Structures are given as C-alpha cells and as structure tokens.
Amino acid sequence: MKRKKIIVIGGGFAGVQLVRHLDEKLFDVMLIDRINHHQFQPLFYQVATSQIEPSNISFPFRYIFKNKKHVQIRLTEVLNIEAENNVVNTTIGNFKYDYLVIAIGCKTNFFGNNEICEHSFTLKTTYDAIKIRNHILQTFEDIASAKGLEKKSLLNLVIVGAGPTGVELAGAFAEIKKNILPKDYPRINFTKFKIFLVEGTKNTLNNMSDMAKTASQKYLENMDVKLVTETFVISYDGDVLKLSNGGTINTKTVIWAAGVTGNTIQGLPKECLTFGNRLKVDRINKVVESKNIFAIGDIAYMETPKYPKGHPQLANVAVNQGKNLAKNFKRILKERKLLDYEYKDLGSMATIGRNKAVVDFPFIKFKGYFAWFIWMFLHLMIILSVRNKLIIFIDWAWVYITKDSSLRLILTQNKETCNVEKL
C-alpha cells in the first residue's frame, strides 16, 4: 500500500497528539508551524509571574519527534490553501498532501478594538509570557524612582477577563505582592500596589460551578484583589483604562484575557466558517464542504447531541480529537467504519494561589488545599518530558517552602551602537 502524505498545520495539543499517534507504516507526515516548539499553555501564567522558566513548558518539535523518521518539521508561515489542487502554499515553498489537518488554534479576541490591542498584553504564547514577566519586573524597578501620577499608574495592574487565566494571574500577582515585593523593595510601600480584575459577567470563573464561582471570588477578595464585575473595558490608550460603568483606572499594565477567536487561514470555503472564526466539522473532524481537509482542537466546531453549540475549547478536547483522528485515518485506509468523536467531560479546575484552588469533577466539586494539590498533580502529569516534570516539581517545592523564587531576571536587549576605532 502506498504511503499517504498528511500535512498538519499547528503544533498545539491537538496537532502534537495527532502526529504522535499516526501509524508510521501508513503515513508520511509534515508538521508546519510558525514556531519550533510546542507550548504548554496552562502554565503560561507561571512564566509571566516568574515562578517557572519558559524552557520548562516549551518543547522543541524536533525533540518530541526525534524517533519518528516519518515526520518532517517545517518552520514557516502558511500563506493559503489550494484545496482543489491539494496544496499548502507557505513562505518557504508549496507542499502537496493527500490529507490536510488544520490545528491552528485561537488567538486573543479584542472585539474589534485596535487601541486596546496595541497597548495591552496578551498571554497566548511563551513569548507573551516572557514579555509580561519583563514588563512587570521593570515596572517594579520604575516604581522605586517614579513620582506623582506616573507612580500611581505603575502601582495599578489590571487584568481583563476572569476566566481561569485571569483568576490564576490575579492570584499569583497577589502572592508576589504579599511575599516577595516587600523583601526585594523594602523602601516601597506595596500596600498601594493594586491588582484589578475586570469581568463583563457577574462572576469569576463563569463557566464553572456555583461553588467555584463563589470560592474563587472569596479567595481573591481575601487576597486584596479588586474585583470589577458586570463591567466592560471601553478603551485603553496606554495610560488610562476607561470602563463601561463610567470609571477610569490610571495604569501602565493591562493584561487582556477576555476571550479568543479562531486563527484564520485563506483558501477554505466560506460555508465552513462559523462564529468565532471556527471551522465547522462533522463527527470525524472533517471540514464541511471538503473531501480531505480536517480540523481539530480549538479551531474545530463540532455539534453533537451532548454539545449542540460545539465543544468547549479545552486541552482535553484537543488531545482526544487528535487521537481519534489518528485512528480514523488508519480506518480510512483499511476501509473500516469510522469512529465518531464525543467529548467526555472530565471536569475543570483553577488555582488561585498557594493552597487555594477549585475543582469541578463530574462526580464531585471541592476547593481548598486538596483541590490545589490535585491541580498541581494533574498538570504535572501531562507535562511532556520526565525531565521537565522533575524540574517544575522542584521549582514548585522551592516556592512553596520559601515563599520565594529566584527567577526574577529582566531579559531585554539593550540598544547599542557599534563604534569602530579608526586606525
């Protein structure tokens, strides 16, 4: 049997799991991505708050697939797809395929507000997390010499969006404020350092249980996080954040975690697009109005009896769609019955800081220290390599024991001129 060529665009949770599970005897695989590594998104906030190193949650594709001789990696930007010719056009050349899998995920949704996009920080990549870390640490340095309104702006940190990312960021910064900043900057009164969490709905963790909503809000309030709910951001010019309730916040730091929209790719029929720029797929993740193009992960929109409005955009959905599609590709070649995908809800969780977390399992919901321990254990188990599991565990143990971290490095490039002496 002639080996089939599969091109996978995107190396997130869905793309990596698909490539790992494809039968090497049946398929030649090309993985295309703009960056050279897989990123463990659930722990981005810990990089942004100097708790773990970015290298510990970033895994080079060539390392992941070093023993997969049937897998090629191409670092490039996809320009468009020629579906009628089975070709992917990129900045380094054009590649033919027998099957195409789109796993390009989502990006931050600014709801059309370019001004907010220009002046706020996002947290969708490892690089974003490093940018936030550098900015926050530089901000603390600037506070030491700032005066008046500038100092007030530096002392206000605003996080927009109270989903898991926003809540986890707010909790982490609150602990830094309490345990680390007074030691590093003993001459600064950090009781004036304010952390705002702005949310458009009534609750934090709005997609979780009532227990999780209530507990997370109480935890954050006890940690002195200023909750601004049922309020939207109207504008932010880099200095002043304007809110729908008429209020304003002077701030130099806004982290936007208020929603996502699908990444776009040219060349697909308009009929397959739905709200949020997601791609409509059938029960085996084949894009509607196509013959050999598939979509998996956050970009895929699949309606099922259990999920008539599509599956939640979670890592567990992406991972299992990738695994299921790998099985179906083999079944296509063997001419066997294909397996419909259905998401089995394993629950959701969020941590709000040291000994504080909420867990929603289908059979039980709980909070506190045990929830925090479960959160740590489960996240540690799904980290890709044994080495990284060990390093992250040591980092977490050190932070837990000492309430401190030694990772507060500002890594930015100094602008230098090249002065050549004339002889």
Tens of pLDDT, residues 71-100: 999 999 999 999 999 999 999 999 999 999
Given 241, 258, 275, which residue is the final one in a domain? 258
130 and 245 assigned to the same domain: yes
Tell if the pTM clears 0.95, that is, is over it.
no
CA dist 305 and 134 (Å) reads 46
DSSP 357-402: EEEE-SS-EEESHHHHHHHHHHHHHTSS-HHHHHHHHHHHHHHHHH
For residue 127, the one-letter residue type is Y
| 67 domain-assigned | no
Tens of pLDDT, residues 107-142: 999 988 999 999 999 999 999 999 999 999 899 899
Tens of pLDDT, residues 310-341: 999 999 999 999 999 999 999 999 999 999 99
200 and 240 assigned to the same domain: yes
**Token digits for 317?**
């959905």
143 and 202 assigned to the same domain: yes
**Token digits for 302?**
């699949």
Q: Whole domain around residue 143: which residue ranges?
A: 114-258
The dihedrals phi and psi of 136, each to the nearest 5 degrees, come to: -65, -45
The dihedrals phi and psi of 359, each to the nearest 5 degrees, come to: -130, 130
Given 301, 316, 334, which residue is the final one in a domain? 334
Structural domain count, the chain:
2
| 177 domain-assigned | yes
HEC sequence for 216-283: HHHHHHHCCEEEECCCCEEEECCCEEEECCCCEEECCEEEECCCEEECCCCCCCHHHECHHHCEEECC
How confident is the model at residue 109, as a pLDDT?
92
